[in-house]
Structure 1
Amino acid sequence: MRALIIGATRGIGLGLTQRYLADGWHVTATARREADLPQLQSLGAKPLKLDVTLPSSIMSMEWVLAGEQYDLVIYVAGILSRGPATAVPTQAEFDLVMHTNVLGMMQLLPCLAPKLANQHGKWIAISSGMGSIAEAQSSANWLYRVSKAALNMAIRSAAFDYPAVTFAALCPGWVKTDMGGPQATLEVADSVQGLRQVIAGLSLADSGCYKNHLGHSLSW
């Protein structure tokens, strides 16, 4: 089995890379910086440099991955923007968050989804409960919320055009990572274990879904 994990150098991305390697998968793992590639290679992954904020880097995937087929693609790349709705984001901040969390995946999709279709594979985007409009209870991290809601819509929409691929937006829970902070309630290993089980259980009937790491459906 072959997986491509986009954004694999830390936190949940690194945890997923380690887990799939331990399960015997062949994993291609991406890093934004050249300096992070040796770390991925030392784990046993095939390292690949990819900056999802750069169209030129995304376009290069057409020939870098020519002939490759995958059973699973996981888009983990994402950054957090803090502040409530009273804090106006700058254009630079908005562009960085939206490019990393949403546009990067949307630009990669036409290149990579066909590599899954032949395998009847799965495309997973790591989302967040903060992307739920129905369950929003504050404006905390509002730009991040907006980006994850947009990511959810991208996943839901893509399912219509790639009927042979299973798409899912998955919330990993509140995890002790650089983004989640030390006060979070989940260890990386626990989140990854849950995500792994949910991903394994997904079928085409679930395509376009929005779930958490326990497999519970979330409100859009």
Structure 2
Amino acid sequence: MNITNPYAQAQWANSSSDHASAPSLFGALPFPSSPLRPSIHLFHFTNLNPDILNCTVVGPKSIPYFRVSNNNPSPNFTLFQNREGRSIAIVEWIGSAGPVVEVRDIIHKQFVATWLQLTSDRKHRLMKARDRTFVWVPQDERVGLYTYGTTTPELYARLSRTEGGVTLEITSTAIQEGLIECCVVAAVLMQSGRLIE
């Protein structure tokens, strides 16, 4: 057995002229056709009664993930609850300065216009969450959430109106980074039809 030549152990010839006939390891491996992308999870805002301020947010496998209810616990409030019934966010619609939002353990109580701030050209909305800034960008019939201030913006979520409701596509990266609650609240605010400035 030739220990210095690993090809000889497989009974391939050792001569330099025979290297061309040796099988290629690289030819046996699949060649990636496109870069890997994070998986997408779909959430549907359903049972709009009469609008998105009263709805159920259904996630993968048709499991209800969130419940949105207006005028609960009292008039002029929209309450967001997770599937265990725990309050995760609230929007207060009273006050001349505009509505106020709070997302438990993520967004401290502040004006919606501050949290979902319009850019100076009034074409995009910045969103701060988890010590990062993101940007909601309108694209045809959708609104995409991207990383902000990076050379290559990364898509985190996409919001679109569908027949019978609203759909939020959110990447596994965004979910792992704890942004799902913020995306759901932002979607409701942007699709509410109410002034949020």
Normalising to structure 1: TM-score of the pair? Answer: 0.29
- Looking at secondary structure, tell me which structure has more helix per residue: 1
The structure showing larger relative contact order (alpha-carbon pairs under 8 Å, at least 6 residues apart) is 1
- Looking at secondary structure, tell me which structure has more strand per residue: 2
